[in-house]
Amino acid sequence: MKIKSRKKSRLHEIWQQLKKNRLAVVALFIIILLILVALFASFIAPYPYSQQNAKLSNAPPSAEHLLGNDKLGRDILSRLIYGSQQSLSMGVIAVAIAATLGILLGAVAGYFGGWVDSLCMRLLDIYQAIPMFLLSVALAAIMGPSLRNAIIALGIGTVPGFARIMRASVLTVREKEYIEAARAINAGNGRIIVKHIIPNAIGPLIVQITMGIGGCVLAGSALSFIGLGVQPPIPEWGALISDARSVMRQYPTQALYPGICVMVSVLACNLLGDGLRDALDPRLKN
Amino acid sequence: MARYIGKRLLLLIPVLLGIALVVMIIIDITPGDPARMMLGAQATQEQVDALRDQLGLNDPLPVRYVRYIWNVVRGDFGTSLMSKRPVISEMMERFPYTVKLVTLGTAFSILIGIPLGIFAATHQRTWKDNTVIFISLIAASMPSFWFALLLIRFFGVKLRWLPISGVETWQGWVLPCAAMALGLAALIARQVRSDMLEVIRQDYITTARAKGLSEGKVIYRHALKNAMIPVIMVIGGIFGSSLGGSLITEVIYSIPGLGQYIMTGLNNRDYPIIQSGILIISTMFAVIILIVDVVFALVDPRIRLQYARKRKGKGEKQSEDKESKEVAAS
Amino acid sequence: MADNLLEIRNLAVEYHTDDAQIYAVNNINLTVRQGETIGIVGETGAGKTTIAKSIMRILPNPQAKLISGEIFYRDENILKLSEKEMRRIRGNKIAMIFQDPMTALNPIEKVGFQIAETIKLHNKISSVEAEKRACDMLEMVGIPMERFSEYPHQFSGGMKQRVVIAMALACNPELLLADEPTTALDVTIQAQVLDMMRSLKEKLNTSVVLITHDLGIVADFCDTVAVTYAGEIVERGTVEQLFDNPSHPYTLGLFGSLPRLDSTERRLKPVRGLMPDPTNLPSGCRFHDRCPDATDKCAEVAPEDVEVAPGHIVKCINAVGGAV
């Protein structure tokens, strides 16, 4: 109960700091908006994403089709709106996987120390010796192109960052008195990790999660672009850029829209991440 | 220093062994039979089995792993399933392209990123700083492949200044390098800015000002050198990103490099290419990180002397003894 | 007054942060005579370092704002000098020793270079000569010149402070600002560093502004004292005047909080209460809410300087002019 109230006040404190950063608030607003668009895509989108109309192939913007139509005559705006579902879920789920695995790995390594720590760290060394995007591409390609596999590949590729942050946080928290106190009242290892260490490491993790979602949306769009992510006809922003590539010469705007969508969502994540970092550690704010 | 490099090279071996194992395990646990892939769907099960036997795919994983490593040590990185040529000779042809792309891309990003970062830091809280921050934020948030397409559309198709693909001429390198450098330059600029601001706050910068040094000397002689230390570490990671990014860049600009080769291998499930390609790229990455660490040690006397001391043995203790004697003497 | 090396008139400095204004220094007057050593005493946050940095004109920019005041160095208002002119004084005529030797040296430059840099900057001499003089400076502060090429992390705290002092004295400054030069050091090293500073000061006839919170060091080292409280100088005078006849309630409080060998008191008497919040200073006398002798008037009227004895000035409405 006590821990809960402390955590709440900490979040409140972070929010108080964050509120002062106007850009971060705007970014948060954009992120919420994007999530709403993704959740209610089927209500917002004027047309189904796969509805073709040969007569409207590569049609310019009109009152019925605000952003025009692609080469199969599909409504671009609707495809962008539905695309947010795939792109954002790639970012969010991949980071959820990465954060869960990374936090567990980092917490175990940092908490137990000794050979467990060495083993985990060597494992991470091997992991990080492979350039992250290469690893994701290879995993996605070997497992076969699909949204699910792309998400897994991205998630696995991003684990080390979380693991290292968590381990570092654990190492600083581990020696504090209240962990001693918890041990003195015979709290188990699992309980200490969940109740004491994770809440204390939460600051840098929130920043990493926010930035990580942006990074995974970016990398996910790249995977889809080279055909390793979402498969047609399901729209995804990276895949939409790839689709538009063939008509890039005549209709460059078709590639422009999905790119802007990716950019805005990643930018929002980065801005919010920056804002959160400043809010969590006002000393860093210059 | 030589000892340090030697030690680091030795430490590299288990990492590379680990990478080879990890890649092999991943390929092993995912469904799909390379023999079946090679022969196509019409082939009979007997034919597939015969090929599996011939390729040694029926052996247990440890046997195959040891065999692979042994072959790699002898310079045999396997044979491409598609072209039937040795992977190593195909890779050697492509190697220079990737090296050139990654080196140029990273060099561009450093040349743009560092001055921008310094500029922003020295104009902190002005519109100049805000502009740099905002542009670099946008640049870092752009998908690089998208930016690459826009560059092609604008400079290649519209203005016709530069070729849209191929690197037969030097003009051909401009767009791919620019596409690669943009996001990385933004990352470097942000890092340089925050490190500079951190260093400028330090007491020794106040000391330098108190000496009567001009602001230029304070920034370039005292602050920049200190701020570069963390930046050097980031540059190692930047190389890693550009190695990964070379995959897409090479495909978009039709550069016959390692990235494109690995992409083809991945699409065809050409396992020897995948395995050895990842191993080679990771080795390149590891060597770059090693170089970065050596540069780091050269710049930072604290690290440099640490290694010198290790050689001398009890350096730390010695100097402390010396100090206490001096204190006693004075 | 021609024999005044430095004269500060009505100096006021504020710091501006995102959500607050900090009144760091409020209308301070101070004079330093040729060859004099003046101690500035006060608690952390009383504005001592800000005074020193104002004299050097190295206040953090853009956070610090100079609100008013004049600082005369040899009858020239240095606050009016151009940055270029100021650079010729800074490190040359006026030098500063910083509080924390551990962070005051550039970690990636040789200590010898850091001293030689100052010398080269302010004298028209070759690099070789500058290095030779830097070696002499090292020897002067008791560091063998063989250590010229070593880096700060190879030195202990006390040794680093010697390097910092060598750096400050490298150009024979007329005025040395020493900002808590011994606070970060062990007690035994403190005495060594102070002894060294004293002999160097006598040798070079340097005026010193010694910033400290240690009254013992002041009694030992200084000719005159200024006591600061919440950005104001509440009492100043010679060491004898102040120690024999402390007149401001805050100064009395400071003495009361010191252990005495000749006293039978069983407990020390700390000054009650806390330093006022520098973003929201109390009205009237800044000290009234902590003052044992405060009257209602203290909360309303800001006290004027009262000269209780020649050169002994107290900022308190209860002080009686010309007494003693």
Cβ burial, residue A260 (10 Å; 0-12/13-18/19+) = middle
Q: What is the pLDDT of residues B192-239, one digit of tens each?
A: 998 998 898 888 998 999 998 988 889 888 998 888 888 888 888 888
Does residue C213 belong to the interface with chain B, where contact is any CB pair within 8 Å?
no
pLDDT at position A27, please?
Answer: 92
Q: Cβ of C95 and B210 within 8 Å?
A: yes
For residue C293, CA distances in Å to B87, B219, C290, C299 come to: 92, 51, 9, 12
Distance CA C34, CA C205 (A): 8
Does residue B25 belong to the interface with chain A, where contact is any CB pair within 8 Å?
no
The mean pLDDT value for C207-230 works out to 89
Query: Is C264 a residue whose pLDDT tops 70?
Result: no
Contact B57, B27 (CB under 8 A): no
Instruction: From chain B, pick out residues whose CB is under 8 angstroms from the CB of A129.
Output: 15-16, 18-19, 282, 285-286
A115, A120, A122, A126: CA torsion to nearest 10? 160
Q: What is the pLDDT of residues B34-57, one digit of tens each?
A: 777 777 777 788 888 887 887 777
Query: Is A3 a residue whose pLDDT tops 50?
Result: no
Closest chain A C-alpha to B170 CA, distance in angstroms: 23
The encoded tokens of residue A24 equal 């971060």
Instruction: From chain B, pick out residues whose CB is under 8 angstroms from the CB of A139.
Output: 26
Q: Cβ of B248 and A222 within 8 Å?
A: yes
pTM of the shown model: 0.81
Host H or E run for residue C309: strand C305-309
The encoded tokens of residue C229 equal 């409280």
Percent of residues, chain B, with pLDDT higher than 90: 18
pLDDT at position C116, please?
Answer: 92
Q: Which of residues 175-214 of B touch A (CB under 8 A)?
A: 194, 197
The encoded tokens of residue A69 equal 């139509």
pLDDT at position C23, please?
Answer: 86
- Which residues in A have their CB inside 8 Å of a CB on B? 122-123, 125-127, 129-134, 137-139, 141-144, 214, 218, 221-222, 225-226, 238, 241, 245, 248-249, 252, 255-256, 258-259, 262-264, 266-267, 270-271, 274, 284, 286
Residue B221 phi/psi, 5-degree rounding, is -80, -45
Instruction: From chain B, pick out residues whose CB is under 8 angstroms from the CB of C100.
Output: 203
Q: Which residue of A has its CA nearest to B33?
A: A142
Distance CA C133, CA C147 (A): 14
Work out the widest C-alpha separation in chain B, in whole angstroms.
92
Host H or E run for residue B158: none
Query: What does the DSSP 8-state code read for residue B222?
Result: I
Centre a 10 Å sphere on the Cβ of residue A257 and count the other Cβ atoms it contains. Answer: 19
C276, C278, C279, C284: CA torsion to nearest 10? 60
Query: Is B184 a residue whose pLDDT tops 70?
Result: yes
Q: Cβ of C107 and B320 within 8 Å?
A: no
Does residue C97 belong to the interface with chain B, where contact is any CB pair within 8 Å?
no
Does residue B1 belong to the interface with chain A, where contact is any CB pair within 8 Å?
no
Provide ipTM, 2 decimals.
Answer: 0.84
The encoded tokens of residue A231 equal 């498969």
The mean pLDDT value for C139-149 works out to 87
The encoded tokens of residue C154 equal 């190879």
Nearest to A153, CA basis, from B26, B15, B20: B26
Comparing CB atoms, the residue among B211, B302, B319 nearest residue C91 is B211
Q: Cβ of A133 and B247 within 8 Å?
A: yes
Q: What is the pLDDT of residues B17-39, one digit of tens each?
A: 988 898 888 888 777 777 777 77
Tell me which CATH code domain B98-311 carries. Answer: 1.10.3720.10
Contact A41, A86 (CB under 8 A): no
Does residue B247 belong to the interface with chain A, where contact is any CB pair within 8 Å?
yes
Work out the widest C-alpha separation in chain A, in whole angstroms.
76
Host H or E run for residue B220: none
Comparing CB atoms, the residue among C142, C151, C196 nearest residue B326 is C142
pLDDT band for position A94 (50/70/90)? very high
Nearest to A218, CA basis, from B183, B160, B98: B183
For residue A110, CA distances in Å to A176, A188, A197 come to: 14, 16, 10
Domain boundaries, chain B: 98-311
Dihedral of alpha carbons B161, B166, B169, B175, sign: positive
pLDDT band for position A127 (50/70/90)? confident
Length of chain B: 330
For residue A264, CA distances in Å to A29, A36, A44, A219, A269 come to: 12, 15, 19, 14, 9
The mean pLDDT value for B140-169 works out to 84
Q: Cβ of C106 and B204 within 8 Å?
A: yes
Alpha helices in A185-252 (DSSP H): 189-192, 198-225, 237-245
Give the CATH architecture of domain A89-270.
Orthogonal Bundle (1.10)
Q: Which of residues 83-142 of B touch C (CB under 8 A)?
A: 125
Per-chain mean pLDDT for chain C? 85
Does residue C105 belong to the interface with chain B, where contact is any CB pair within 8 Å?
yes
